[in-house]
Amino acid sequence: MDQEYNKGMKERISSIKKLPPCFKLSEEELSFLHKPPPGALPFAVTPYYLSLCSKDDPDDPLRRQCIPTTRESKFKEYELEDPLGDKRYLACTRLVHRYRDRALLLVTDHCAMYCRHCFRRSSAGKGRLSSRELNLAVTYCKEHNEIKEIILSGGDPLTLEDDRLTDIIRAFRTIREELVIRIHSRIPVVLPQRITSGLVSSLGGLHPLWLVTQFNHPREITPESSEALARLAASGIILLNQTVLLKGINDSFETLELLFRSLVRLGVKPYYLFQGDLARGTSHFRTSILEGLRLYRKLSNLSGLLRPMYAVDLPGGGGKVVLDSGAAEGSLAGWLKLKSQEGKIYRYPVEESQ
């Protein structure tokens, strides 16, 4: 594998000792980093992403995504360990078959950087997909012809070696030639050096292949990340982006418009804008859902190329629903009532007063 990439992973900053001394830490950051609370999402950031962060402003939108604070230990009573309810849809280990025509495979729990707002935080600690687990998932997919699409997720699939990743993709392609394969990865944002010519040429032979990345802020679009996207696009991989709506980071019309416009210019279609899931210790990142709906109404004037779907994963396994002015079935005592795709009513807290 490319030297640049190995260097990026090896030089990852994963403890307070490795942070450059010029980094001025706030009380809340210091106190987490000195003694990470048990069970917390690990701390790790690439030197590249850290270089984009402000050294002295703890409220910097990029810094907040990578430097943990003690606010992560504040749990709300309605926050959940498995906010998406994935566990009840496990078809076999690591394969989540929630929707009829697509299944999601958790290929690793590793990420180049651990995003502080991550809502798959409970999948950390399960290591990588073994050959046995891959065989089980492939067999399941072979027996379930209704699955037309496989999503490789995690963790971050692009932390796997090129060979391992292409083996996984080929294993599915071998049993079902027409399968669409999609990779969910934040690597283009946090470690664009990983998008090497070697990786791109191995993936380039495996169409139809889609890559869904996660740019949350216009400052994440740099010469390095633009170059990574250009390489992927040049090899024929189709690029989409999902943005997580994050309080105080990107919850303004101007920030989102600039982000979406820049992505489209680079050939990346904004796919989803996600309302924050109810993962434990993430309330400081959640914009109120009513505020989100107001913001989305403003975004609806933008070109269709720029406009993602605003969606939320209903707590407790209700699945994704697209939020628009017609989505809410009314509210009751601080909760919004939302209808799932199956027509069942789920509750989502309004959190307006925070």
Ligand X SMILES: *Cc1c(COP(=O)(O)O)cnc(C)c1O
Q: How does strand 335-339 pair with strand 345-349?
A: antiparallel
DSSP string of 277-291, one letter each residue = P-BTT-GGGPPPHHH
**Which of the following is catalytic: 102, 126, 128, 176?**
102
Quote the least distance from Cβ 12 to ligand SF4, whole Å. Answer: 13
CA-based nearest residue to 229, from 187, 198, 261, 166? 187
Between CA 327 and CA 19 the distance in angstroms is 44
**Which of the following is catalytic: 66, 86, 109, 111?**
111
CA-based nearest residue to 154, from 187, 185, 182? 185
Residue 99 annotated in active site:
yes
Residue 64 annotated in active site:
no
How many angstroms from the chain centroid is the CA of residue 258?
A: 20
In the list ligand SF4, ligand X, none, the entry touching 84 (Cβ below 5 to 8 angstroms by class) is ligand X
Among 13, 84, 91, 111, binds ligand SF4 (CB under 6 A): 111
Question: Does residue 220 interact with ligand SF4 by CB under 6 A?
Answer: no
Exposed e or buried b for every residue in 304-335, given b needs 16+ CB within 10 A?
A: eebbbbbbbbbbebbbbbebeeebbeebeeeb
Residue 57 annotated in active site:
no
**Number of shown-chain residues binding ligand SF4 (CB under 6 A):** 9
Question: Does residue 186 interact with ligand SF4 by CB under 6 A?
Answer: yes
Query: Quick one: which H or E segment has residue 168?
Result: helix 162-175
What is the contact surface with ligand X in residues (CB under 6 A)? 84, 86, 96, 98-99, 102, 104, 151, 320
| DSSP designation for 15 | S
Taking the least distance from each CB to ligand SF4, the nearer of 89 and 253 is 89
Residue 111 annotated in active site:
yes
| DSSP designation for 217 | S
Tell me which stretch binds ligand SF4 (CB under 6 A): 112-120, 131-139, 316-324, 331-339. 112-120
Quote the least distance from Cβ 190 to ligand SF4, whole Å. Answer: 7
Binding residues for ligand SF4 restricted to 140-179, rule: CB under 6 A = 154-156
Residue 102 annotated in active site:
yes
In the list ligand X, ligand SF4, none, the entry touching 120 (Cβ below 5 to 8 angstroms by class) is ligand SF4
Q: Crossing angle of helices 253-265/289-299, nearest 10°?
A: 50
Residue 118 annotated in active site:
yes
Task: At 13, list the tokens.
Answer: 């900053």
Tell me which stretch binds ligand SF4 (CB under 6 A): 69-77, 114-122, 133-141, 267-275. 114-122
For 164, other C-beta atoms within 10 Å of its C-beta total: 16
Dihedral pair phi/psi, residue 106, rounded to 5° = -90, 100
Lookup result for tokens 């994935």: 86
**Which of the following is catalytic: 71, 320, 337, 339?**
320
Quote the least distance from Cβ 151 to ligand X, whole Å. Answer: 5
Taking the least distance from each CB to ligand SF4, the nearer of 120 and 247 is 120
**Which of the following is catalytic: 60, 156, 162, 313?**
313
* Residues at the contact surface with ligand SF4, assessed by CB under 6 A: 111, 114-115, 118, 120, 154-156, 186
Active site members: 98-99, 102, 111, 115, 118, 120, 277, 313, 320
